[in-house]
């Protein structure tokens, strides 16, 4: 780090396209800022991403300066010949332009360290950092390496991974630079209180004598999860409370579909389009979570030690959600619907978790053993180490 400005650390962060790349980066920025402020130092940060993107909106809403570069997205296919499309060839031409733009930004900002959390936008910025001889830290959120991080790993001063099994996927000459940090989880998620959840949601029919199942398909909801749970509701509500976050587009159809349920069961069903500030409390309340298996979701569930029935998104990049779900199931840390998805299959997965508290506790313990609630601090340590090198 430049001795003339030891009281200020200059960081470029890049990564985005999805929340799985964006929110871990934001958590690290906030954690790093708090760490430096406690030491009487300051953080100057610039987020470099794609224009009109999620990362630009997140940076802006959190008061973080933002600059953009061109991004080249590669649409993958099992047959490499099918990747030679006009769209791929056009977008691949954006990569060298993005690298030149990134070099100009990095030269002007002069960061002490660059943090890349994945997504296509990380490639030109990471390559630019290496060309400008600025230390690069790459963070991988998933069990398997994303395409961007595969490209950047050999250029990185440090490669932070979320799972020990990920280190074996790194090139041989990179493994000595690998650090297992886990995937950063927003600190507020870890501070939920179960006793506040029902009141915060306005869930007046919640029965504290029964377990609670939290169903979520993400902020936009999931038609697959919504339909599967809808078909299972009479059985499920006879055994548990259900908090179902369905997405705005699905709220009215689900209300209509469940209108004729037995009123004594329906009172234990809380349907909502979105769970916002109440999420930490809802997670604290939940005995079982039914959800997708994206990297961020897995990080939260394992940090909290939650029993879960995972339904991977079949179209996730590189089939990462299926790999995440399989990894947890093989570790005894979740149950996963890896092939057939339907009401009968979900019932088979959830019933033992509701009926056998001992089995549920064993899954919770195994999940907690995989979790790293201190991942943000671990990754901040790696960033600071690279900046000092």
Tell me, yes or no, whether 207 and 60 share the same domain: no
Tell me, yes or no, whether 181 and 191 share the same domain: no
Tell me, yes or no, whether 294 and 347 share the same domain: yes
Counted domains in the chain: 2
Return the closest-CA partner of residue 132 out of 113, 148, 158: 113
Do the beta carbons of residue 166 and residue 320 sit within 8 Å? no
Tell me, yes or no, whether 240 and 268 share the same domain: yes
Share of the chain above pLDDT 90, in %: 80
Least trusted range by pLDDT, from 66-80, 139-153, 259-273:
66-80
pLDDT 10s digits, 203-243: 999 999 999 999 999 888 899 999 999 999 999 999 999 99
CATH number of the domain enclosing 127? 3.40.50.2000
Residue 317 CA to residue 300 CA, distance in Å, equals 20
Tell me, yes or no, whether 153 and 73 share the same domain: yes
Tell me, yes or no, whether 65 and 91 share the same domain: yes
Tell me, yes or no, whether 193 and 285 share the same domain: yes
Tell me, yes or no, whether 40 and 148 share the same domain: yes
Residue 74, pLDDT above cutoff 80? no
Domain hosting residue 11, numbered range: 3-185+374-388
Mode of pairing for the β-strands spanning 136-140 and 113-116: parallel
Rounded to an integer, what is the distance from CA 4 to the centroid of its chain?
A: 37
Tell me, yes or no, whether 213 and 362 share the same domain: yes
0.85 cut: is pTM over it?
yes
Tell me, yes or no, whether 298 and 343 share the same domain: yes
* Residue 203 backbone class (left: φ over 0; alpha: ψ -120 to 50; beta: rest): beta
Tell me, yes or no, whether 25 and 172 share the same domain: yes
Residue 320, pLDDT above cutoff 80? yes
Tell me, yes or no, whether 146 and 212 share the same domain: no
């Amino acid at each position: 780090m430049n001795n003339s400005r030891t009281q200020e650390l200059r960081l470029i962060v890049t990564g985005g396209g999805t929340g799985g790349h964006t929110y871990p980066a934001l958590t690290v920025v906030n954690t790093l800022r708090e760490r430096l402020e406690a030491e009487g130092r300051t953080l100057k940060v610039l987020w470099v991403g794609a224009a009109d993107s999620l990362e630009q909106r997140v940076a802006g809403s959190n008061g973080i300066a933002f600059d953009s570069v061109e991004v080249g997205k590669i649409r993958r296919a099992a047959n490499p010949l099918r990747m030679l499309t006009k769209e791929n060839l056009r977008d691949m031409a954006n990569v060298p332009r993005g690298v030149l733009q990134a070099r100009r930004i990095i030269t002007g900002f002069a960061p002490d360290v660059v943090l890349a959390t994945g997504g296509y936008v990380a490639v030109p910025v990471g390559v630019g950092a290496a060309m400008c001889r600025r230390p690069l830290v790459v963070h991988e959120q998933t069990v398997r390496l994303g395409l961007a991080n595969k490209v950047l790993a050999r250029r990185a001063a440090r490669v932070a991974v979320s799972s020990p099994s990920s280190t074996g996927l790194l090139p041989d000459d990179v493994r000595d630079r690998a650090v297992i940090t886990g995937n950063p989880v927003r600190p507020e998620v870890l501070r939920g209180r179960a006793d506040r959840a029902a009141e915060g949601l306005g869930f007046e029919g919640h029965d504290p004598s029964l377990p609670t199942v939290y169903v979520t398909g993400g902020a936009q909801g999931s038609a697959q999860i919504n339909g599967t749970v809808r078909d299972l509701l009479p059985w499920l509500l006879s055994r548990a409370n259900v908090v179902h976050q369905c997405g705005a587009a699905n709220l009215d159809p689900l209300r209509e579909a469940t209108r004729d349920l037995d009123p004594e069961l329906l009172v234990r069903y809380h349907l909502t389009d979105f769970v916002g500030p109440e999420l930490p409390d809802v997670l604290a309340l939940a005995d079982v979570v039914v959800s997708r298996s994206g990297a961020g979701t897995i990080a939260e569930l394992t940090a909290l030690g939650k029993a879960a029935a995972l339904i991977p998104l079949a179209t996730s990049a590189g089939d990462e959600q299926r790999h995440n779900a399989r990894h947890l199931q093989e570790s005894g840390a979740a149950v996963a619907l890896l092939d057939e998805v339907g009401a009968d299959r979900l019932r088979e997965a959830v019933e033992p978790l509701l009926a056998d508290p001992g089995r549920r506790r064993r899954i919770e313990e195994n999940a907690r053993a995989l979790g790293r609630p201190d991942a943000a601090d671990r990754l901040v340590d790696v960033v600071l180490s690279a900046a000092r090198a």
